[in-house]
Amino acid sequence: MKTLVKPPKLLPGDLVGITAPASWVDRDQAAAAAAYLERLGFRVRFGQTLTKQYGYLAGSDEERAGELNAMFADPEIKAIVCARGGYGTGRIADLLDYGLIRANPKVFWGYSDITFLHAAIGRFAGLVTFHGPMLVDLTREDLLPVTVQNFETLLRPSVLRYTEDITPLRTLVEGEAYGPLTGGNLTLLASTMGTPYELDTAGKILFLEDIDEEPYRIDRMLNQLRQAGKFADAAGIMVCDFHNCEPNKRKVSLTLEQLLQEYIVPAGKPALSGFKIGHCSPNIAVPLGIEARMSTAEKLLECVEPGVEG
């Protein structure tokens, strides 16, 4: 694991690069969403991948990886926001230049399928990245001001402090945990197992979220993480939003709550559920790699420092 590098904070007028390292996006939708960033004082530059279509991918693996490498290398671009998730980031992980990324630290922002890149960049570049709402999320009908305000923290660095003032939190296992934040989308985390980019949870606070996965599939993935020692190694566990994760194919089913009781609780690590992080509104941004404290008694997650320098 590399020593941690934080990206510089953003300044009004800074250029934000928009790329699509997974699936493609409608350009009109991207343009409408970019207006939010422009109102915050940023300039926006779209990459060529946004509207390239190679099946469900935003261009070939070489095109998507090449654009991401180029944005990190471009000194004018100060932040990189992923247009959307979908599928495809795991395909480009071995095409990225992690030495280049580490030598040019800048904000890298996204979630869902972007989870694979967070894991890879964290392991091989040691860069603090941000698990947060993507560009297309800014056009959601249920967009809340707090979601947009996530981006403002890049201009005015603040320390993440998640309490029940945001959403109710429920204790699964009592206790207090300290460690760097790590995690993301459960499906993508499971897909890193056995690869060079496998998520390291040792001594860390692990958070999990997902969307449109039936309980039997969540069961399979939680079991994989359990057998890989990811819960046993973690300092603490945050259960975030599991959107629309209801039985469909298998009507007779275990519930998500039963799965939490069977996989999270036996790990014996301090655990809270109810965080609005992931495919939800609001979607609170999380700086990956930053040291944090989680307390079930206080119903609290707080970082010790901002995710950006300055």
Report how far residue 218's alpha carbon sits from residue 220's, in angstroms, rounded to the nearest whole number: 5
Report how far residue 308's alpha carbon sits from residue 270's, in angstroms, rounded to the nearest whole number: 27
Q: Report the relative pairing of strands 300-303 and 291-295 from DSSP bridges.
A: antiparallel
Asked if 112 is an active-site residue, the reply is yes
Asked if 209 is an active-site residue, the reply is yes
Of 23, 63, 191, 279, the active-site residue reads 279
Report how far residue 93's alpha carbon sits from residue 274's, in angstroms, rounded to the nearest whole number: 31
Longest dimension (CA), the chain: 55
Of 191, 209, 273, 295, the active-site residue reads 209
In the numeric block, the tokens 């249920």 are attached to 142
Of 23, 63, 67, 112, the active-site residue reads 112
For the sheet with 161-162, list strands across it: 161-162, 300-303, 291-295, 176-185, 205-211, 236-243, 271-273, 170-173
Question: 207 by DSSP, 3-state: which?
Answer: strand
Q: Report the relative pairing of strands 77-82 and 107-110 from DSSP bridges.
A: parallel
Residues annotated as part of the active site: 112, 209, 279
